[in-house]
A = this chain, B = another copy of it.
Amino acid sequence: MGGRTREYCILFSFLTLLALSSAFQGKKQYKPCKRLVLYFHDIIYNGKNAANATSAIVAAPEGANLTILAGQFHFGNIAVFDDPITLDNNLHSKPVGRAQGLYVYDTKNTFTAWLGFAFVLNSTDHQGTINFLGADPILAKRRDISIVGGTGDFFMHRGVATIMTDAFEGEVYFRLRVHIKFYECW
């Protein structure tokens, strides 16, 4: 019947609409399209540990030197790092890549940092880079920074990374747990 057919037709149009709109919303979903949990390990150069150190203070405000983090919550220190990335929290595990870039201590009355760095991954599982940027209120248990781009396996990806301080030994070693959540995958 014409009438019945028309109903089918309307039904099909609606289903089409529904399927597409869900696909459409699905693109920018709030559930990550890809996840990774990685650790990186930072050993700060203190004038005596040249062989082991993976980072160095390279800038400081007037009156501070470069072998010890500045007073006033290290305000003004910039450190450059090349830290091993591991799959678990063991510094001696086989690295799957390097975390490279800088952190900048940027508050006078508490510990916070501005981070600009890349994960350069080079393992059987992942080949490519992930670019991070953001404010790090170090003393908070969890803090989120932005993932603003990527290359290789992470071509054009965007997302958010949740950072936790997994260990902290004096002012020489710290280890960060990075939970990477991509919300735009290509």
Contact = CB atoms under 8 A, between A and B. Distances in A.
Contacts of A23: 21, 24
A19 to B, nearest CB: 7
A94 to B, nearest CB: 17
Given A9-B9, A56-B62, A80-B106, A100 B112 contact: yes
A134 to B, nearest CB: 6
A107 B61 CA distance: 22
Interface string A2-42: 10111011101101110111011001101000000000000
Contact of A20 (B17, B151, B184): B17
Contact of A76 (B56, B156, B183): B56
Contacts of A112: 82, 100, 120
Interface residues of A, number: 78
Interface string A80-91: 111000000000
A2 B112 CA distance: 70
A120 B135 contact: yes
Contacts of A148: 131, 133, 146, 148-149
A131 B133 contact: yes
A56 B63 CA distance: 11
A53 to B, nearest CB: 8
Nearest to A67: B62
A101 interface: yes
The 9 A-B pairs of least Cβ separation, nearest first, read A146-B149, A118-B135, A144-B151, A56-B61, A62-B66, A59-B59, A58-B59, A12-B13, A9-B9
10 contacts: A6-B9, A20-B20, A58-B61, A100-B106, A100-B107, A102-B114, A129-B145, A131-B146, A149-B160, A151-B160
